[in-house]
Structure 1
Amino acid sequence: MAPNKTADVIGAGLAGLTAATALAQRGWSVRLHERESEIRAIGAGIYVWGNGLATLEALGLYDQAAVGAHVGQVLESRDHRDRVVEEIPINGPGQARVLTIMRDRLIDTLIGGAKEAGVEIRTGSEVVEAAPDGSLVLRSGETSRADAVLAADGVNSRIRRQYDVVAHRASMKQGATRLTVPRSADFVPAEDQGKYIEYFSGRRRVLYTPSSETSLYVALVADEDDRPASRIPVDTASWIRSFPHLEKLLSACAGVPGRWDTFQFHTLTRWSMGRLAFLGDSAHPQPPYLGQGGGCAMMSALGLADALSGSDAPVDQRLRDWEYAERPTVEHTQRWSYRLGQLNYVPDAARTPLLKGSGLLPALGASRMRAARTIPTGAGRFAGSAPAGS
Structure 2
Amino acid sequence: MTKQFQAEIAGGGICALTTAAALAQRGWKVRVHERNSEIREAGAGIYIWGNGLRVLEAVGAREEALRNANRGMASELRDCDNNVIPRVPVQGEGAVEVFALPRQQLLQALLHAALTAGVEVVTGSEAVGATPDGRLLLRDGSSLAADVVVGADGVHSRVRDSLGLASQFELLSEGAIRVMVPRLPQDGDGRFVEHWNGTRRILVTPCSPDQVYIALTCLHNDTAAARVPVDKALWTASFPHLASLIDRIGASARWDRFSMVKLKRWSQDHVAVTGDAAHAMPPNLGQGGGTAMQNGLSLAHELGAVASREDIPQALARWEERERELTEHTQLWSMLYGVLTSWPDELRTAAMGFASSHPWLSAQRLRTARSHPTGASPLATEGAA
- Give the TM-score normalised by structure 2: 0.95
Question: Which of 195, 199, 202 is matched with 1:206 structurally?
Answer: 202
Contact 2:301 2:374 in 1 (8 A): yes
Quick check: 1:198–1:206 contact (8 Å CA) kept in 2? yes
Kept in 1: contact 2:35–2:127 (CA 8 A) = yes
Match in the other structure for 2:282: 287
Matched, 1:269 2:244: no
In structure 2, C-alpha distance between the alignment counterparts of 1:94 and 1:118, rounded to whole Å: 39
Q: Which residue of 2 aligns with 1:386?
A: none
Alpha carbons 1:179, 1:256 under 8 Å: kept: no
Question: How far is 1:64 from its partner?
Answer: 1.1
What are the within-5 Å matches in structure 2 for residues 241-280 of structure 1? 241-253=237-249, 255-280=250-275
CA displacement at 1:171 relative to structure 2: 4.3
Amino acid paired to 1:266: V
Contact 1:2 1:26 in 2 (8 A): no
Question: Within the alignment, does 1:67 sit opposite 2:64 as a pair?
Answer: no
Unmatched segments (≥5 aa) in structure 1 = 384-390
The residue identity in structure 1 corresponding to 2:200 is R
- Residue 372 of structure 1: CA displacement? 0.6
Amino acid at match of 2:314: Q
Q: Distance in 2 between matches of 1:2 and 1:86?
A: 57
Which digits, 9 at most, give the CA deviation of each residue in 1:203-226, with x for residues without a partner?
000000010111000000001111
What TM-score results when the alignment is normalised by the length of structure 1?
Answer: 0.94
Q: Distance in 2 between matches of 1:41 and 1:346?
A: 33
Give the structure with the higher percent helix. Answer: 2
CA distance in 2: counterparts of 1:73 and 1:288, whole angstroms = 20
SS of residue matched to 1:168: strand
Give 1:337-356 correspondences, 5 Å limit. 337-356=334-353
Q: Distance in 2 between matches of 1:2 and 1:327?
A: 31
Q: Which residue of 2 aligns with 1:90?
A: 90
Q: What's 2:19 paired with?
A: 19
Separation in 1, partners of 2:86, 2:379: 37
Q: Which residue of 2 aligns with 1:52?
A: 52
Distance, in Å, in 2 between the alignment partners of 1:86 and 1:232 is: 33
Question: 2:184 is matched with which residue?
Answer: 184
Percent identity over the alignment is 45
Using the TM superposition, give the Cα deviation of residue 114 of structure 1 relative to its aligned residue in structure 2, in angstroms: 0.8
Which segment is superposed worse, 21-30 or 351-360? 351-360
- Please tell me the residue identity of whatever aligns with 1:197: V
Q: Distance in 1 between matches of 2:234 and 2:208?
A: 28
Displacement over 3 Å in runs of 4+: 91-94
With 97-106 and 82-91 compared, the bigger mean Cα shift is at 82-91
Alpha-carbon distance in structure 1 between the residues aligned to 2:371 and 2:39: 29
Mapping of residues 26-41 of structure 1, within 5 Å: 26-41=26-41
Asked if residue 297 in structure 1 is aligned to residue 292 in structure 2, the reply is yes
- Aligned pairs, how many? 379
1:193-249 deviation per Cα after TM superposition (whole angstroms, max 9, x unaligned): 311000000000000001011100000000111111111111010001111111111
Gap runs ≥5 in structure 2: 381-385
Q: Is 1:316 the equivalent of 2:322?
A: no
